[in-house]
Structure 1
Amino acid sequence: MKTILYPSESRGHANHGWLKTYHSFSFANYFHPDRINFGALRVLNDDSIAGGKGFGSHPHSNMEIITIPLSGSIQHQDSMGHTEVIKPGEVQVMSAGKGIVHSEFNADEANELKLFQIWILPNKKDVVPRYDQKSFNFSIKNEWISIVSPKDSKDENLWIHQEAWLHLGCFDKDFNAKYFLNKTSNGIYFMVIEGSFSVNGENLNERDAIGIWEAGSVTIQATSENSKILLIEVPMISIN
């Protein structure tokens, strides 16, 4: 088993006034030669967006994009004709494929929007762009809630063009949760959303993260009440 620790305070940070963002991996003006990716996981941005503000129309291609609102609602529009609002408890996915243009704004004029935006490198290029969103019951405790799987998976959740799996979990203090990798050649990236956990002997607090690979399974333990964690299993591909 191999590991790499990503302390919260080691992330890239930018304050644009209307946008306060933390970058787990190199993004925009933040570059760290050792923080380009974790396998197929290319971006994990932790964004706080002021009321009514957001990202105007901009393009993407050949990327699987997953958006998880933590608080507040996202107003989304894209070149495929979708106009949607994504709220906490919902997750959005887009396969950018051969090219899309979209915009994202805080749907609330008064209150801050907080979200994770995740980019995963696809296993197929130039696919037909697609959009989907789905509601999940994140109030379920002490079990993994599967939110994203590969296209050919039989799971009743969202899918992307990659052999990747995403889960969220909310656990009681001292609860042990075991996760078996779908592919032993994959790696797992854990990020603590709230509370604290012990993962592979490392104590992780809010927004701390750890990457683990060359492991068939991993057991984590919540070390505070109502602790929430994000799990991303991805192929350990390299980026040239």
Structure 2
Amino acid sequence: MVRLAVAAYPPIAKTRTGKLNTIVICSGGLDSVSLAHKVAAENTLKGLLSFNYGQRHSKELDYAAACAARLGVPFKAVDIQAVGAALTGSALTDNINVPDGHYAEETMKLTIVPNRNAIMLAIAFGMAAAEKADAVATAVHGGDHFIYPDCRPAFISAFQAMQDQALDGYATVRLYTPYVDGSKADIVIDGARHNTPFAQTWSCYKGGERHCGRCGTCVERREAFHLAGVNDPTEYDDPDFWLTAVNKAGV
């Protein structure tokens, strides 16, 4: 049985300023933590929501919890490990080596967890409707489009249309994806604008003491800071591998 062992956020009405009360899906990574800081600055951050889906390590969830504490909002982690165990074949959930390289490489398809975002968003929308939130925010971005179909604009539009039908007459919840057409470098620039503490985010799929610098998300992270012209405070085991990966992928 899937455990949804979470308490509800206290219901909060829309603010007088018209800002949206927003639940941010936060993994603890650079993208979602930057999004949390953006929402806190520009709208009303209702809380952060994370998922334990049986990923290779849960280290990132500690960073999500720390972000919530820093921003002074509730943090909830939903346990869907039983669902994750059924979504076999991914290097993020199974005993499969995490591939090194750039997301543009074919090998990165090993990091796909089928329907992961669709499942998480469906749960988040149900919670948002029950708790009178106006929006659910997620940090999907253009760099994800190579291999993750549930990060693409077409999916975002289709999911919103589906939820409009699913919640018709009960609630109106907006799917907020401000980065969907942008790059990870754009997120770094936006995160810096909102004083995101990048050193207090975790991206690496391998979950070691430091970022490995070689897996797809480490390569993308390192490249993004370079393209953004923003200092990268991250400590990597292999800080220069990203150059080799980018050249190999031809991006």
TM-score for both structures, normalised by structure 2: 0.27
TM-score for both structures, normalised by structure 1: 0.28
Q: Whose helix proportion is higher, 1 or 2?
A: 2
Q: Which has the higher contact order (CA 8 A, sep 6+)?
A: 2
